[in-house]
Each structure stands twice: as structure tokens, then as C-alpha cells.
Amino acid sequence: MATALGLVLGAGVFLVWWSMWVPDARAPEVAVAWTDRLRDDLVQAGAQGVGPGGLVGTTVGVGLVVAVIGAGVTGSLAIGLCFGVIAARGPFALVRSRARARRSRMREVWPEAVDNLASGIRAGLSLPESLGQLGERGPEALREPFTAFARDYRSTGRFSDSLDALKGRLADPVADRIVEALRLTREVGGTDIGNLLRTLSHFLREDARTRGELEARQSWTVNAARLAIAAPWVVLLMLASQPQNAEAYDTALGTFVLAAGGAVTFLAYRLMARFGRLPQEQRVMR
């Protein structure tokens, strides 16, 4: 009787636990969202020809090469693997750093581009002409994608498809809002597009000013945190120049110390990145 009650109680607890988990319905969505964000970062970093798979392959290759070189130089496989894991982060960090720098530049030029677009519409230009003229008289950072839009529209005559291609080249939430507003105006008509663009220009200027002040204030804190995270591994590299030190890390205890240090470093970096991260506008109109 006690055994039967125990089995029933265990089955009940298992069913309650199972009911608290969503099946695998959201897993593909999370994967797709991650690849979409990574693809946007690649476009913003100027690596349009590289896909998420290529970046992952590059990461693995860099990690393996650095691990082999590190193990050969220090004579310790454990130390080589540590620096291989650290180096594998390099391609992702480079892409995101370049994408972040481009987003900062774009925040400065979007208000001017929106003003030019509103001026063209107010002067009586059609929507395709107003967008195309940004490739000639718009901000330098935006001329190439808008020149490509004008070329696409002249060759196909399909405004909606040319807008979709423009969104893909820019991979920017501000561009998404502008494109969808122009698409809606083109399809259903409307006279408020000028007011909408002027309001958007004012909002973008205020956002750029506020974000610039916040980034300037937090930059020294973020750089100090990164230096604090990197310092122990620089010390490890100097210690590994001595053969007896390198041999100590190939023992079970030494490997445990390296693994624990890596886990603490990763946790500290993630906490620093989360606490110091400014909110980023997401693309919701892909």
C-alpha cells in the first residue's frame, strides 16, 4: 500500500512539473530570432556576404588554431584550450563591435536623411524619387543602399519589392519604420506623411542626444570592467611562460581551477554586459 501511494505521489509530482514546461513550440522561434539578430549584426558590420553559419565556422576555426598554438607555446593543453575558448569569442565580438559602431553613426545621420526625405515629398517628388535622391544628396553613410534602391526600382518598377530589398540592406529599425510608413502611404494614400517624418526626425535627434550622453558617462565603467575581466588571463599567460607553472595546470586540480576561473569570468562578463547595456530598439517590421 505504501509503495502504491509513493508511486501515485511521484507520478502526480512529475505531471505537475511536466505541465509547467512549454513543449518545443517556442524553440524554433528562439533559434530563428537568434539567427535574425546575428544576420542583422553582420549586415550592419559590413559583412553582407557572410551568413550566421559562416561566422560560427570562423569562430570554431579561430578557437582551434589558437588552442593548438597556445598548447604548443605553453606546453599545457589545458591552458591552450582556455585561450582557444577566449579567442573563439573574437569573431563575434568583432562583428558586434563594428555593428555597434555603425549603429552609433547611423543615429547621427538618420535625422538628416528623414529631413531630406520630407523636403523631397514637400517639393512634390514622388515617393520613389524622394528615396532615390537620398543616394545622391543624402548623408554619405546612407547613399549606397539608397542608390541601390533607385537602381532596383528603375530595373523592376516594383516599389514594394524594392523597399523590401532596401530594408534588408539597412537592417535598421528606423529604416523599417520609414519604409513601412512610405509603403502604407503608397498603397492607401494619405497627406500626413510630412508631419510623420518631421515628428520622427525630432524624436531621432532627441534619442541620439540622450543616448550619446549616457554612453559617454558609462564608457569608462564598461572599459574598466573589461580590463578587470582580462587581467587574470593576462597574468595566466605570463605565468605559463615558466614550464613548471604550465605543468601544474595540466593536473586535475589545475584544470579545475582554470574551469572555475573561466566560469566566474563568463558570469561576471554577462552580468556586466546586462547591467551596463542600454536598451536597443528591435526590428519588429522585418
Q: Does residue 268 belong to any structural domain of this protein?
A: no
- Per-residue confidence (pLDDT) for residue 75, from 0 to 100: 81
Q: Does residue 246 belong to any structural domain of this protein?
A: no
Q: Does residue 13 belong to any structural domain of this protein?
A: no
pLDDT band at 186 (very low <50, low <70, confident <90, very high): confident
Instruction: Measure Cα distances from 191 to 117, 226, 273 in Å.
Output: 15, 50, 44
Amino acid of residue 34: W
- Per-residue confidence (pLDDT) for residue 197, from 0 to 100: 79
Indicate whether 91 pLDDT > 50.
Answer: yes
Full-model pTM: 0.69
Indicate whether 209 pLDDT > 80.
Answer: yes
- Per-residue confidence (pLDDT) for residue 55, from 0 to 100: 85
Q: Does residue 129 belong to any structural domain of this protein?
A: yes
Q: Find out whether 63 and 87 touch, Cβ atoms under 8 Å.
A: yes
Alpha-carbon distance of 222 to 228, in angstroms, equals 10
Number of structural domains found in the chain: 1
Question: Which has more pLDDT, 206 or 1?
Answer: 206
Share of the chain above pLDDT 70, in %: 83
Chain position carrying cell 576555426 = 61
Q: Does residue 6 belong to any structural domain of this protein?
A: no
Alpha-carbon distance of 195 to 201, in angstroms, equals 10
Q: Find out whether 121 and 130 touch, Cβ atoms under 8 Å.
A: yes
Alpha-carbon distance of 142 to 107, in angstroms, equals 11
- Per-residue confidence (pLDDT) for residue 135, from 0 to 100: 84
CA neighbours closer than 13 Å in the CB half-sphere of residue 87: 18
Mean pLDDT of 167-186: 80
- At 214-273, the pLDDT tens digits run 777 777 777 777 788 888 888 888 887 787 777 777 788 888 888 888 888 888 877 877
- At 40-80, the pLDDT tens digits run 788 877 777 787 888 888 888 888 998 888 888 888 888 88
- Per-residue confidence (pLDDT) for residue 52, from 0 to 100: 80
Region for residue 56 given its phi and psi (left: phi exceeds 0; alpha: psi -120 to 50; beta: otherwise): alpha
pLDDT band at 26 (very low <50, low <70, confident <90, very high): very low
Chain position carrying cell 524594392 = 162
Alpha-carbon distance of 161 to 128, in angstroms, equals 12
Please give the grid coordinates belonging to residue 113.
536623411
- What residues make up the domain containing 142? 106-208
Q: Average pLDDT, whole number, for the chain? A: 78
Q: Does residue 285 belong to any structural domain of this protein?
A: no
Alpha-carbon distance of 211 to 60, in angstroms, equals 35
Q: Does residue 31 belong to any structural domain of this protein?
A: no
Instruction: Measure Cα distances from 211 to 41, 104, 179, 191, 273 in Å.
Output: 19, 9, 24, 32, 17
Alpha-carbon distance of 55 to 219, in angstroms, equals 27
Q: Does residue 126 belong to any structural domain of this protein?
A: yes
